[in-house]
Amino acid sequence: MAIDGVVALGPAAALFRSLGDPTRLVLLQRLAAAEARVVDLTAELGLAQSTVSKHLACLRECGLVDFRAEGRQSFYALARPELRELLRSAELLLAATGEVVALCPTYGTSPAEQVR
């Protein structure tokens, strides 16, 4: 038996889990600035092509990223403008809380773990 409201929060929890990976966050931040091809993202972010493709596929499955084809190239972009607002709100919240979240013993990460 579910507690009232917990089931209703399932989609929100799934959204935050999809945003919970540092690599996906860096991809979303980059795509918030402008659309890009996988080759652009790998060069700019220093990530392997397989890593970028895997995380873009995850973000596409979650409905957060979409692409448009132009010839043989695919240009990826945020699927929803609200995502820019969410990322900006997260930046403001992190600025207000300082390093408290990063130091959290449960969810905090070391600098080496921040982007993989």
CATH code for position 52: 1.10.10.10
For 46, the domain range is: 10-80
Any domain includes 32: yes
Query: For residue 97, is pLDDT > 90?
Result: no
As a whole number of Å, the end-to-end CA separation of the chain is: 38
pLDDT band at 5 (very low <50, low <70, confident <90, very high): low
Any domain includes 104: no
Residue pLDDT, tens place only, 58-86: 999 999 999 999 999 999 999 999 999 99
Q: How many domains does the chain have?
A: 1
Cα–Cα dist 79/61, whole Å:
11
Any domain includes 39: yes
| pLDDT at residue number 107 | 75
Residue of 98 and 10 predicted with greater confidence: 10
| pLDDT at residue number 114 | 47
Any domain includes 70: yes
Name the percent of the chain lying above pLDDT 70: 87
2-38 in b/e burial notation, b at 16+ Cβ within 10 A?
A: eeeeeeeeeeeeeeeebbeeebbbbbbebbbeebbeb
